Amino acid sequence: MSKLNQYDVVILGSGPNGLSAGVALAENGLKVLVVEGAETPGGGMRTAELTLPGFHHDICSAVHPMGYLSPYLKTLPLEKHGLEWIVPAASVAHPLENDDAILLTKSIDRTAENLGLDANSYKQLVTPFVGKAEALIADSLKPLGFPNDPALLFKFGLKAMQPASFFAQHAFKYDRAKALFAGCTAHSVLPFDKLFTTAIGLIFLVTGHVENWTIPKGGSQNIANALVSYFKSLGGEMMLSNKIDRFEQLPSAKKYIFDTDPIQLANIAEMQLPQNYRKRLQRYRFGPGVFKIDYALNGPIPWKDPNCLKASTVHVGGTLKEIASSEKDAWVGKHSEKPFVMLAQQSQFDDTRAPKGKHTGWAYCHLPNGSERDMTTQIEAQIERFAPGFKDIVLERHILAPKDFYNYNPNYFGGAVTGGAADLFQLFTRPVARIDPYSTPNPDIFICSASSPPGGGVHGMCGFYAAQSVLKSLKKFK
């Protein structure tokens, strides 16, 4: 790779954070190059015909509440660069056996009506945070530091720090509210008995009342395409199909940002980083992996409760107890026979995803990191439990096991797609404990992946804050 071109910043990796960092730096007038090993940019924001012609599946991320509400991404003119958001009738449907499904919708009152005798408790819980959601989300998606709204974050923190299992038992009396909260909490990929797991459940409930969880028209690839288009309009440059194994392969630049996991950072920059720091990076914990199935379907999913078709996301797992057991199993190295399944049905709202009259399905469960067990039977048994006849409409399946995710993107070590375990010991110190978590002992090397604060998700905030660190080091701001 030629060293003739001099850049202000070279970014390795074009996931949501690498692209967001590139945009933030280019907006400040810097000459920026993004280097990507794959043929297309996007990282976790890619869409492809994985099953049959005409069926467009999101390879990783699918539904984007934080992408739509991201404090940084919403400031960008991405709609002018081709991004179109679709807002479904509901964020979440949570089916239960022998009962109506629970729907999480933008309306607090309508959601509470789903929860029976816990309705008032639910409204009292979420209403104060929904009223100040913009400030809450901004403070939740930033590195550890002084909050913009200390009183709000303190009030939220008193609840958020509690283990989800403890909080659910004391906040609600009945199964319906507990189940809704449990499904949202499972996005943490943590056992419910760990501190701060309530934070994820509450944040996802709040986002569902700000706006129903959105999907990008045409697929998640279009978020990446819009970011790339805007980045290039600012003078940014892309270099695709260039796999980097050694730091010396990168073009010369003043600063470098790694949109990679900590292990790749340690390996690629082996000669540029001190040994002690590299060892700390290599001790980073990734948490459970993912087993995912994409479906080409002959029709809409035949849910027992048709209201499930109103939601972009369906939480398939039953009660709080069942979901908590499933997530605990994945954490301690076991395979749940009744795994909690996250299911997205984008084609219900986006007719570009499948041929006329056909549909796509996107479903995954958590399992031990690096597992080689096929979870197809268990996932489909859970779906059939609430949608009998589901297997009869399956035209084709495409499976991504943990090793497949890792081969697809080496950031997904052992199939962990969220950037690493966000438990108490890595929630505020990812990838290692430093005053500036995006910096390294080398003043010219930074990290911006989901393994840095605030963690996983298509929100771009890791990249935005890493860009601020680079700008500070260059003493250059817009």
| 37 plus 78 within the same structural domain | yes
Per cent of the chain over pLDDT 70 is 98
Q: Answer whether residue 125 shows pLDDT above 90.
A: yes
| 156 plus 281 within the same structural domain | no
| 105 plus 185 within the same structural domain | yes
- Look up residue 213 and give its DSSP letter: P
> How many structural domains are present in the chain?
2
Helices 133-140 and 119-131 cross at an angle (nearest 10°) of 80
Confidence tier at 6 by pLDDT (50, 70, 90): confident
Per cent of the chain over pLDDT 90 is 95
Cβ(265)–Cβ(244) below 8 Å: no
User: Domain ends where: 363, 379, 408?
Assistant: 408
Residue 4's pLDDT is what?
47
413 lies in a domain?
no
What is the pTM for the complete model shown?
Answer: 0.95
| 333 plus 393 within the same structural domain | yes
Q: Answer whether residue 14 shows pLDDT above 80.
A: yes
pLDDT tens for each residue of 134-179: 999 999 999 988 888 899 999 999 999 999 999 999 999 999 999 9
273 lies in a domain?
yes
Confidence tier at 476 by pLDDT (50, 70, 90): low
429 or 471, greater pLDDT: 471
Residue 2's pLDDT is what?
41
Q: CATH no. for residue 266?
A: 3.50.50.60
Closest CA to 21 of 43, 5, 38: 43
| 402 plus 377 within the same structural domain | yes
What DSSP assignment string belongs to 227-272? Answer: HHHHHHHTT-EEE-S----SGGGSPPEEEEEE-S-HHHHHHHTTTT
Residue 449's pLDDT is what?
97
- In the three-class reduction of DSSP (H, G, I as helix; E, B as strand; rest coil), residue 135 is classed as helix
Cβ(286)–Cβ(414) below 8 Å: yes
| 94 plus 201 within the same structural domain | yes
Q: Are strands 99-104 and 90-96 parallel, antiparallel or unpaired?
A: antiparallel
Please compute the mean of the pLDDT values over residues 320-347 and round it to a whole number.
98
The amino acid sitting at 225 is N
Structure tokens at 159: 């609840």
pLDDT tens for each residue of 89-123: 999 999 999 999 999 999 999 999 999 999 999 99
Q: Are strands 32-35 and 7-12 parallel, antiparallel or unpaired?
A: parallel
355 lies in a domain?
yes
pLDDT tens for each residue of 216-273: 999 999 999 999 999 999 999 999 999 999 999 999 999 999 999 999 999 999 999 9
Q: Which domain holds residue 58?
A: 7-84+216-286+418-474
| 255 plus 347 within the same structural domain | no
- The CA distance from 412 to 420, in Å, is 9
User: Domain ends where: 384, 408, 432?
Assistant: 408
| 274 plus 301 within the same structural domain | no
CA distances, 322 to each of 83, 108, 339, 372 (Å): 38, 26, 8, 23
